[in-house]
Structure 1
Amino acid sequence: MSTATTTPQSDTEVPGTTDASGTPGATESEGKHSRRFGLPIATALVMGNIIGGGIFLLPASVAPYGTISLVAFGVLTLGAIALALVFGRLAHRHPTTGGPYVYARAAFGDFAGFLTAWSYWITAWVSNAALAVAAVGYLDVLIPLHGSKPATIGAALLVQWLPALANLAGTRYVGAVQIVATVLKFVPLLLVAVGGLLFFDSADLGPFRAGDESALGAVSASAAILLFSYLGVESAAVSAGEVRDPRRNVGRATVLGTLAAAFLYLLTTLSVFGTVPHERLVASNAPFTDAVNLMFGGSWGGTAVACMALVSMLGALNGWTLLSAQTPYAAARDGLFPKVFARKRRGVPTAGVLVTVVLASLLTVYNYTAGTAGVFETLVLVTTFTATVPYLLSSAAQFFFLLSGHSDRVHRPRLIRDTVLTLVAFGFSLWLVAGSGHAAVYQGVLFLFGGVLVYAGMSARGRRAAMGEGAPRS
């Protein structure tokens, strides 16, 4: 059955029932461990997934390009907001779990839906491995691992499995962890940002364009580094089936979460730029530590920043683990992924969580045992490319809906505005693909083509099942 003309109900919805807040849709089978996300938790989910560990490294990473990198921040923010608004409109039309997968399948059919789900799934578990490896670097500040490879691998696996266990405990606990993690990382980061403005010295900013690139080249080069940090704007849309009143709350949570994350990114980067001298910032491995030490003196900054970074990454892993299970769950319900991914326990697709954390764990172990940091960095860039595939297809789906002329999809008074936003979001997504680099696009396409064989198998299985049902019975 095509979702282009019908909006499937979430399996957690049964007419005539209400959740604890009186919202129609919850079933008794959800139990006390499952709870629908309200606007605050949905917003925290978006913020938590956008703001991972990258924020603690960004100022030093883009410092070699000069303060022109702040222009790249601005361009990325505008593009991310355009995507957020597009996802909000799409979620209003299709308020079900799956997000980009649902939109692409509704507009372009099963194959486009599968590619979206497959690409997004790759993004999720590779990103989890990247976050876990980065988190260990900050954990080493708190609990020195002394370079022990077994201890380092064990810590990385622990960082991944703790959020997975929180997910397996139920959506009620996922939401609780996300709220706590978001508050614990947002408040101290905001304090650092405000404190940095109090100690701001324009002499520390350095040149506007520090390298030999042209202005456009510098913006594009610094933007390529910043791309990974803006992934996650689609978080609330992917989990729309678990959001209370999704037609209203998904769009608001997406925009609010994106704006809050962008504000924090820009403010903290500007503060660090104006606190740490440019020459020192370019060579820094811990820019926030340097900024705190210069602001308040002493050497306690490293420990404080390590705690904030660790909490931030655990919150991001908590949210991304849920998202990594939601898209295969939606595809499995439509017969495009194995049926095991469609099973839920306590409101969470358990198979998706387990398979994701196992794959991420294997990739993490490979990274440490092979000792090939360059390969792992390329895989991180691959996640930027694979994430833009759902962005491109979602923007194209919105464009299709707007041009299709169906009265149930087109908001005629806002048609021009929605069309402009959609074109901006599509152009922004293409820019993300270009910023990923040739190597990442090459390997990302190989990942995508690997999924074509899976789609062929699932389609053949569905065809056989359909033929079996249509065969005459004796």
Structure 2
Amino acid sequence: MTTVTTPDPTRQDAPGTAGHDSGGPHARRFGLPVATALVMGNIIGGGIFLLPASVAPYGTISLVAFAVLTAGALALALVFGRLARRHPRTGGPYVYAREAFGDFAGFLSAWSYWITTWVSNAALAVAAVGYLDVLLPLHGSVAATIAAALLLQWLPALANLAGTRYVGAVQLVSTVLKFVPLLLVAVGGLFFFDADNLGPFQAGGSGALGAVSASAAILLFSYLGVESAAVSAGEVRDPRRNVGRATVLGTLGAAALYLLGTVAVFGTVAHDRLVESTAPFSDAVNTMFGGSWGGTAVACMALVSMVGALNGWTLLSAQTPYAAAQDGLFPKVFARKRRGVPTAGVLVTVVLASLLTVYNYTAGPEGVFESLVLITTFTATVPYLLSTAAQLYFLLSGRADRVSRPRLVRDAVLALAAFGFSLWLVAGSGYAAVYQGVLFLFAGVLVYACMAGRKG
């Protein structure tokens, strides 16, 4: 195993390092409320506003997948909270994998997570365009659709380049605003719930286990972001205390809204109509109150929510390469900060996400959102698997914090559950997604060879 020298976790961006940033009025560390909003804002991004329609073809058995997924996400959240307490540094999964298994494992985690972030941004933009189509007639024009998707990606990137102060402000406001449509549908939908709208329990041709696994693989996209506070630990005040709390609180809040909102949409929109819907929450509000005003209002709020999620994911997309670049595993340009934000990471991410968006729309718009979601499902599980394996390594090697034996057993069980959960999601993502994800992942091996050779 490669011997790794870990920087002092209490010191971030010390003078003289590549990542040093003098701060200033545009750079500010996040407290517990903003860190929680970052977690919730990234979890409750655009996925929940489109996913009820994406999993409707599997039937209401997808609600079972949602419940299982929630339990797995909470296990992951607790594991990340434990790891962040031990290693409160910017980088999250990259830091944990590198500390436990050396440079190559750390690089694979950073590379895979970086892929997840910019592919997720492309998927979020696709979902946002579906709700923009409620407000503007874009659906018939490929050029207008592409232009709208690119605009929705570049606006949050510009907010990030303005500094962490503005990132936190946008994240807090968008998180508050996104609660309005979700609570409206989640609570109000219970009064308009009609069991006849639910459709068949198992609509697909595969078995029950296959349907649960397949729908859970799509639904995982809606839980990407549980690691947000851990990835940005260097920008959080008192990270040993606040990262774990923000991770658990954000995941619990998102899970409650997810389950209530999905059940409400299933019960208010007829199954046949839901399968074809591009804006299921708008359709649910229109069904509840009649007319189109409710759906238009929800579409506006959903767009605000998705822009907030793109804002948070753009920040995360720059943080992991920043941490790896400080250790010489990514090009040095990724380690430069301006106003508290790694500018190169932001710019490269938005360019790659834009190119992927254009490619998927020109290759054929059918199933664009689902195909992008399944790729991120696979690439996200790589750092999740490495992080949970790192936690098991720390516990079994005696390198974890000294705790009582019952606490040690509990942490080991949580890590095993999170590891098994992540492995199950790889199987559920499907052959095509694994194939494309592996191509993305293996492309990074050449990058690692070049960077490691130069470092040596």
Q: Provide the rounded CA distance (Å) in 2 between the counterparts of 1:72 and 1:97.
A: 32
Structure 1 pair 57/156, CA: closer, same or farther in 2 (3 Å)? closer
One-letter code of the match for 1:96?
Answer: R
Structure 1 pair 379/62, CA: closer, same or farther in 2 (3 Å)? closer
1:270 is aligned, of 263, 268, 276, to: 263
Equivalences for 1:323-362 in 2 at 5 Å? 323-362=316-355
1:454 paired to 2:440: no
Q: Provide the rounded CA distance (Å) in 1 between the counterparts of 2:264 and 2:155.
A: 33
Shift of 1:203: 3.8
Shift of 1:405: 1.2
Shift of 1:217: 2.8
Aligned to 2:297: 304
Equivalences for 1:10-409 in 2 at 5 Å? 10-12=11-13, 29-145=22-138, 147-371=140-364, 373=366, 377-406=370-399, 408=401
Structure 1 pair 450/296, CA: closer, same or farther in 2 (3 Å)? same
Q: Provide the rounded CA distance (Å) in 2 between the counterparts of 1:117 and 1:71.
A: 32
Is residue 213–residue 425 contact of structure 2 (8 Å, CA) maintained in 1? Answer: no
3-12 vs 189-198, which moves further? 3-12
Q: Provide the rounded CA distance (Å) in 1 between the counterparts of 2:161 and 2:55.
A: 38
Structure 1 pair 113/280, CA: closer, same or farther in 2 (3 Å)? same
Percent identical across equivalent pairs?
83
One-letter code of the match for 1:360?
Answer: A
Aligned to 1:470: none
One-letter code of the match for 1:269?
Answer: T
Deviations 1:374-393 (A, max 9, x none): 57743432111011000000
**Helix, strand or coil: the match of 2:268?**
coil
Deviations 1:10-62 (A, max 9, x none): 53468xxxxxxxxxxxx992111111111111111111111122212222332
One-letter code of the match for 1:433?
Answer: V
Q: Provide the rounded CA distance (Å) in 2 between the counterparts of 1:332 and 1:5.
A: 14
One-letter code of the match for 2:282?
Answer: T
Is residue 361–residue 368 contact of structure 2 (8 Å, CA) maintained in 1? Answer: no
Shift of 1:415: 0.1
Q: Provide the rounded CA distance (Å) in 1 between the counterparts of 2:191 and 2:426.
A: 38
Structure 1 pair 144/407, CA: closer, same or farther in 2 (3 Å)? closer
State the superposition RMSD in angstroms. 2.1
**Helix, strand or coil: the match of 2:375?**
helix
Is residue 86–residue 400 contact of structure 2 (8 Å, CA) maintained in 1? Answer: no
**Helix, strand or coil: the match of 1:439?**
helix
**Helix, strand or coil: the match of 2:125?**
helix
81-90 vs 219-228, which moves further? 219-228
Shift of 1:8: 4.2
Q: Provide the rounded CA distance (Å) in 2 between the counterparts of 1:286 and 1:405.
A: 50
Deviations 1:90-118 (A, max 9, x none): 00000000000000000000000000000
290-299 vs 37-46, which moves further? 290-299
Shift of 1:397: 0.2
One-letter code of the match for 2:359?
Answer: Y
Q: Provide the rounded CA distance (Å) in 2 between the counterparts of 1:406 and 1:371.
A: 50
**Helix, strand or coil: the match of 2:22?**
helix
Deviations 1:174-199 (A, max 9, x none): 00000011111112211221100122
Shift of 1:340: 0.6
Larger Cα-atom Rg? 1
Shift of 1:224: 2.4
**Helix, strand or coil: the match of 1:32?**
coil
Shift of 1:212: 4.5
357-366 vs 317-326, which moves further? 357-366
Q: Provide the rounded CA distance (Å) in 2 between the counterparts of 1:211 and 1:107.
A: 42
Is residue 84–residue 230 contact of structure 2 (8 Å, CA) maintained in 1? Answer: yes
Structure 1 pair 148/220, CA: closer, same or farther in 2 (3 Å)? closer
Shift of 1:283: 4.1
Structure 1 pair 315/3, CA: closer, same or farther in 2 (3 Å)? farther
Shift of 1:9: 4.7
Q: Provide the rounded CA distance (Å) in 2 between the counterparts of 1:212 and 1:396.
A: 35
In structure 2, the gaps of 5 or more residues are: none
One-letter code of the match for 1:151?
Answer: A
Is residue 4–residue 103 contact of structure 2 (8 Å, CA) maintained in 1? Answer: no
Q: Provide the rounded CA distance (Å) in 2 between the counterparts of 1:131 and 1:332.
A: 27
In structure 1, the gaps of 5 or more residues are: 15-26, 464-474
Tell me the TM-score normalised to structure 2 length: 0.93
One-letter code of the match for 2:46?
Answer: G
Deviations 1:233-291 (A, max 9, x none): 11110000001111011111111111111111100111122222334434434322222
Q: Provide the rounded CA distance (Å) in 2 between the counterparts of 1:160 and 1:50.
A: 17
Report how many residues are paired. Answer: 451
Is residue 275–residue 294 contact of structure 1 (8 Å, CA) maintained in 2? Answer: yes
Is residue 4–residue 107 contact of structure 1 (8 Å, CA) maintained in 2? Answer: no
Is residue 401–residue 410 contact of structure 1 (8 Å, CA) maintained in 2? Answer: no
Is residue 31–residue 346 contact of structure 1 (8 Å, CA) maintained in 2? Answer: yes
